[in-house]
């Protein structure tokens, strides 16, 4: 028996270890030690609001076995799949062996249990997305009509009706066992059901191995004893059980957690028999007005409520598992850095909270889970992380009015969720979409999402076991076919955008904005495809929809919850549009279309009230506290950078339309130059030392902090290069309007930006590759953090312009102060600039490990070599030893 694994059983909601005595006895007969965990949430008082303590209990039981060197097979029933998955994090056999530890979790078994992807909740699967799910929803409604809704105790716990569970839970069990099982059932709090999962254990620990004796025993029917707790009433009523789950896919469209009212401890309305039947609990500030109380309780109470759209993400119902992981990884990471409320200059006073970027290296994750269970080394749930966070806030309400959104409603959002939410309400704000228009909207968004995600696949072969199926076309499995799959997807997305230009929906607008950032295939460049081809149409649609939604919000009034959510959702999408607008204007001939945010509540030049203080010392140790502060400070940096970038693109537009023979005739240009150079200087004075400190100590930062600091550093430098390029014809013209001080200042900014890019690339390329992290997220294994940006072309453009800037500075200085007097000088052959070119070129080459990076980097390299090939070849180094 000592050589067999210990079986740890994790009960479902309402159930206790005694419910599984027949299963335990059956395993004992097969010479397995079996232990059932007692879930602290069952009969909890006060009610638990998360599954954290359940996960801790599971982990502690497992640790008792593996600390003795034994292996463990974990079996979960129903809700137990969530605490099991969370509790085994870092305890897998393979992981522990790499740490030199004996014992570990060798198998996971989901027995009609929740095998949730990250971000999914127990109650978040209730919105049907497929015909099969619609049929299950119909059956659920029949059960609800037959048995009534869920009942609650006075303190808000869910209570099961004995007569109901006899039919729903134990309909095929021995009557004597049923009587005992009903007596053993406890109460269960609703809170843990609404907290998203943070870890998908089934992706790292095997779910099933038919060579295993235990699994064979069950497959062959050697164990005839069945658990009394075969089904979960919540699963039966709401279709929560997961059948036939594949670890490489996620078969549900991820939806949000239920509103926080589910986790409140306020009392519900009492029914005639003394139980409580309201799914949403009463708010104390509504007790005085029963009518308003009824209105408030309706919001978010239905499983089909639009509220559930807000935190929706992608999975296998839209894209295959690998591409869904890529999308969610890249977008979640970038939105936390650029779309967060503290970055958004178009955000209103309705504060929102985006889904957290919880990425970390495998080493960071393992170190957090290698020791015995504690509150500190278990993953924090969204509920525990942001108990006090405010997602939306408005002024206090007047007596008799519907109260404003407060901390009682704390809803995380995603960009995709905001798009779905706004389109869902389209008819209500006057944007009536026909059936064909809706289908076109869905088709074009899906096609663009696919092309977008394919950018991070390796061009030399699939980065995982996923098959790159493209609708009805053949399956791609070879290295060339991976690139061909991207080509096909890009051209298909472009065709569908053309076909949907007449459709006015947020899905189409979002698809256009996302498509604008996708790398243009080299095949398309040969066909003279125009960069930023559809951005004008996308921004125009967004502008029209903005007016409709703003009118809808105004009509609902300042105290409407839906008005507040729509307002926040709109600000997110508008900010996405502004980012694309600025990006296209910086790197191309596009002229900004979206109005300046200077007259906006947050865009008037004042910083967010929640802006982190830049209190740090250059000699400060890079400790965990500093690391935790980096993403927040970078968000404040991003907000200020966009204010300055707006100056730069406005100056660029003015210069392009001015009289190029005599800039002195354009006084506005002179004033714009002065204000822009001043704005750049203020930014550098405030933020540049911090960014340099992050880059210099990048090896000590977490992946999240590395991504935040590297991306804003590189793109800030891109803005400097664009400014220099914009002013070059003015500085070198016959009638210069820049003062000597301005020219010297600009040259100093250029030198600093060039050094910053070279240093950043050198530090990044010196880091070890996070292959496990990359593969887990579906990304090419060789990707560095230079590749982790939502717009691959921007990184390639930054590196290309840095090299061009070095060469211009060395051979064609901006002013006539060179010794020859002809605007040309002979550079020092042994100067550091040669090493900078070598380093930056290697950074450009490193982008080619992904399909998207390959498209942009190869074009940039070809152009650089065509114009400066001899010099670059002279600077290039290699590490051959023979």
Q: What is the pTM of this model?
A: 0.64
Whether the Cβ atoms of residue 500 and residue 441 lie closer than 8 Å to each other? yes
Q: Please determine, for residue 282, whether its predicted confidence score (pLDDT) is greater than 80.
A: no
Q: Please determine, for residue 287, whether its predicted confidence score (pLDDT) is greater than 60.
A: no
Average pLDDT over all residues of the chain: 76
Average pLDDT over residues 353-372: 47
Which range has highest mean pLDDT (272-281, 523-532, 622-631)? 622-631
C-alpha torsion 211→216→217→221, nearest 10: -170
Phi, psi of 495 (to 5 degrees): -65, -45
Phi, psi of 92 (to 5 degrees): -60, 150
pLDDT 10s digits, 729-744? 777 665 566 778 888 8
Show the 3-state SS of 490-551: HHHHHHHHHHCCCCCCHHHHHHHHHHHCCCCCHHHHHCCCCCCCCHHHHHHHHHHHHHHHHH
Domain locations along the chain: 6-265, 305-356+380-602, 611-875
Least confident span in 184-188, 222-226, 331-335, 565-569:
222-226
pLDDT of 68: 86
Q: 699 versus 603: which is more confidently predicted?
A: 699
Give the CA distances from residue 865 to residues 522, 642, 755, 826, in Å, rounded to whole numbers and listed in that order: 17, 32, 21, 20
pLDDT of 223: 36
How far is it, in rounded angstroms, from Cα 522 to Cα 572?
Answer: 32
**pLDDT tier at 229 (50, 70, 90 boundaries)?**
very low
pLDDT 10s digits, 753-790? 999 999 999 999 999 877 666 666 667 778 888 888 88
How far is it, in rounded angstroms, from Cα 144 to Cα 164?
Answer: 11
Average pLDDT over residues 534-543: 94
Least confident span in 262-266, 323-327, 685-689, 870-874:
262-266
pLDDT of 476: 38
pLDDT of 324: 78
Which pair of structure tokens corresponds to residue 66? Answer: 């593996």
Average pLDDT over residues 77-94: 91
Looking at the DSSP assignment, which residues form a beta bridge with residue 319? none
Q: 277 versus 645: which is more confidently predicted?
A: 645
Least confident span in 365-379, 514-528, 612-626, 664-678:
365-379
The CATH architecture assigned to 6-265 reads: 3-Layer(aba) Sandwich (3.40)
Average pLDDT over residues 839-866: 94
**pLDDT tier at 352 (50, 70, 90 boundaries)?**
confident
pLDDT of 114: 82
Q: 619 versus 121: which is more confidently predicted?
A: 121
pLDDT of 864: 96
Whether the Cβ atoms of residue 796 and residue 856 lie closer than 8 Å to each other? yes
To the nearest whole percent, how much of the chain has pLDDT over 90? Answer: 40
pLDDT of 126: 52
**pLDDT tier at 445 (50, 70, 90 boundaries)?**
very high
Q: Please determine, for residue 312, whether its predicted confidence score (pLDDT) is greater than 50.
A: yes
pLDDT of 284: 36
Average pLDDT over residues 690-701: 94
pLDDT of 879: 85
């Amino acid at each position: 028996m000592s050589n067999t694994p210990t079986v740890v059983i994790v009960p479902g909601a309402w159930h206790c270890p005694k419910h599984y005595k027949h299963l335990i006895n059956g395993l004992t007969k097969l010479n397995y030690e079996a232990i059932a965990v007692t879930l602290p949430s069952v009969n909890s008082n006060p009610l638990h609001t998360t599954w954290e303590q359940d996960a801790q209990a599971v982990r502690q039981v497992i640790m008792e076995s593996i600390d003795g060197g034994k292996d463990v097979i974990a079996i979960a029933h129903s809700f137990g799949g969530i605490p099991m998955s969370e509790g085994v994090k870092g305890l897998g056999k393979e992981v522990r062996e790499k740490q030199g530890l004996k014992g570990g979790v060798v198998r996971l078994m989901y027995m009609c249990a929740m095998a949730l992807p990250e971000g999914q909740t127990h109650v978040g699967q209730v919105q049907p997305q497929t015909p099969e799910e619609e049929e299950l929803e119909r059956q659920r409604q029949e059960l609800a009509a037959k048995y009534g809704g869920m009942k609650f105790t006075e303190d808000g716990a869910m209570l099961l009706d004995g007569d109901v569970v006899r039919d729903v839970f134990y309909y095929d069990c021995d009557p004597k066992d049923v009587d005992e099982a009903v007596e053993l059932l406890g109460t269960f709090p609703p809170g843990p059901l609404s907290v998203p999962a943070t870890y998908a254990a089934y992706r790292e620990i095997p779910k099933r191995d038919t060579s295993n004796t235990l699994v064979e025993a069950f497959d062959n029917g050697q164990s005839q004893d069945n658990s009394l707790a075969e089904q979960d009433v919540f699963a039966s009523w709401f279709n929560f059980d997961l059948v036939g789950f594949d670890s490489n896919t996620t078969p549900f469209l991820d939806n949000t957690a239920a509103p926080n009212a589910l986790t409140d401890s306020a009392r519900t309305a009492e029914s005639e028999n003394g139980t409580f039947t309201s799914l949403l609990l009463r708010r104390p500030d509504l007790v005085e007005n029963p009518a308003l109380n009824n209105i408030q309780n309706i919001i978010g109470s239905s499983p089909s409520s639009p509220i559930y759209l807000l935190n929706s993400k992608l999975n296998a119902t839209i894209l295959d598992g690998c591409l869904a992981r890529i999308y969610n990884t890249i977008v979640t990471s970038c939105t936390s850095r650029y779309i967060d409320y503290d970055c958004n200059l178009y955000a209103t006073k309705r504060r929102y909270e985006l889904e957290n970027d919880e990425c970390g290296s495998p080493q960071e994750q393992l170190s957090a889970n290698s020791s015995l269970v504690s509150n500190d080394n278990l993953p924090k749930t969204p509920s525990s992380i942001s108990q006090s966070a405010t997602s939306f806030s408005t002024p206090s309400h007047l007596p008799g009015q519907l109260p404003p959104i407060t901390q009682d409603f704390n809803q995380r959002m995603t960009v995709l969720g905001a798009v779905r939410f706004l389109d869902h309400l389209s008819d209500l704000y006057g944007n009536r979409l026909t059936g064909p228009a809706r289908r076109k909207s869905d088709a074009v968004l899906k096609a663009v999402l696919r092309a977008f995600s394919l950018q991070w696949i390796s061009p030399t072969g699939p980065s995982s076991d996923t098959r790159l199926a493209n609708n009805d076309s053949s399956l791609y499995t070879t290295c060339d076919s991976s690139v061909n799959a991207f080509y096909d997807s890009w051209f298909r997305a472009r065709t569908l955008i053309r076909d949907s230009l007449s459709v006015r929906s947020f899905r189409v607008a979002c698809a256009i904005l996302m498509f604008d950032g996708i790398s243009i295939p080299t095949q398309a460049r040969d066909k003279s495809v125009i960069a930023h081809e559809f951005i004008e149409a996308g921004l125009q649609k967004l502008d029209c929809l903005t007016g409709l939604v703003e009118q809808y919000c105004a009509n609902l009034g300042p105290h409407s919850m839906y008005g507040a959510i729509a307002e926040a959702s709109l600000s997110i999408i508008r900010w996405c549009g502004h980012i694309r607008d600025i990006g296209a204007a910086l790197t191309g001939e596009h002229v900004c279309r979206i109005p300046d945010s200077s007259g906006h509540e947050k865009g008037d030049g004042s910083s967010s009230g929640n802006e982190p203080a830049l209190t740090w010392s250059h000699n400060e140790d890079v400790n965990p506290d500093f690391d935790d502060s980096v993403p927040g400070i970078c968000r404040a940096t991003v907000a200020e950078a966009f204010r300055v970038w707006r100056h730069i693109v406005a100056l660029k537009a003015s210069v392009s339309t001015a009289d190029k023979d005599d800039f002195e005739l354009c006084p506005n240009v002179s004033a714009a130059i002065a204000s822009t150079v001043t704005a750049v200087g203020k930014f550098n004075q405030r933020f540049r030392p911090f960014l340099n400190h992050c880059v210099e100590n990048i090896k000590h930062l977490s992946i999240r902090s590395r991504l935040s600091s590297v991306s804003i550093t590189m793109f800030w430098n891109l803005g400097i290069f664009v400014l220099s390029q914009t002013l070059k014809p003015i500085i070198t013209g016959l009638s210069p309007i820049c003062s000597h001080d301005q020219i010297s200042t600009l040259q100093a900014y250029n030198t600093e930006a060039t050094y910053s890019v070279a240093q950043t690339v050198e530090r990044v390329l010196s880091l070890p590759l996070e292959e496990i992290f990359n593969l887990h997220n579906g990304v090419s294994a060789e990707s560095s953090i230079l590749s982790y940006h939502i717009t691959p072309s921007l990184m390639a453009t930054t590196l290309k312009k840095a090299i061009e800037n070095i060469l211009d500075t060395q051979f064609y200085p901006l002013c006539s102060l060179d010794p020859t007097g002809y605007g040309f000088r002979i550079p020092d052959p042994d100067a550091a600039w040669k090493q900078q070119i070598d380093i930056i070129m290697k950074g450009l080459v490193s982008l080619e490990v992904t399909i998207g990076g390959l498209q942009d980097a190869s074009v940039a390299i070809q152009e650089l070599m065509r114009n400066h090939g001899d010099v670059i070849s002279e600077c290039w180094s290699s590490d051959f030893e023979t």
